[in-house]
Amino acid sequence: MATHQRQLYLGTERKLVIAIDIGTTFSGVSYALLDPGRVPQIQPVTQFIGQREPRGDSKVPSVVCYSEDGDLVAAGAETDPETNHALADMDDVVRVEW
C-alpha cells in the first residue's frame, strides 16, 4: 500500500489554506499554514461557535436557520435551541436540514 508523503511548501510567502466539508448531516473544517520551506501540517477545527464542548471528531451539524425574510439567524451548533435560547423567542425562524 502506497502512502502519500507531504512535500515542503515551495512558495515564498506564508499562506493559509482552509478546507470546508459540507455534509448532509455534519460538516467539518480543517486548515493548514503554508510556511516557505516547511512541510504543511493539516489541523482540524475542533470547536465551533455555539457548541457546548469540543467534539473529538471535529464536526458540526449541517443545519441553517433563517428568518422568513431570508436573513441568516443561526448555523451549525448555534441552531440547537437548548443552547441558543434566542431561537425559541423567534416566531419566523425556518430550520433547514437534511
pLDDT band at 55, cuts 50/70/90? low
List, in order, residues 6 or more apart from 66 with CB less than 8 Å away.
72, 73, 93, 94, 96
CA distances from 74 to 3, 7, 15, 17 (A): 40, 39, 29, 25
pLDDT band at 92, cuts 50/70/90? confident
Task: Please give the mean pLDDT across all residues of the chain.
Answer: 87
pLDDT band at 89, cuts 50/70/90? confident
- Cell, residue 53: 464542548
User: Nearest 10 degrees: CA dihedral of 71, 58, 25, 97?
Assistant: -20
What global pTM score does this model have? 0.70
Polymer length in residues for the chain: 98
Tell me which residue of 67, 63, 65, 59 sits closest to 21, measured CA to CA.
Answer: 59
Domain extents in the chain: 15-96
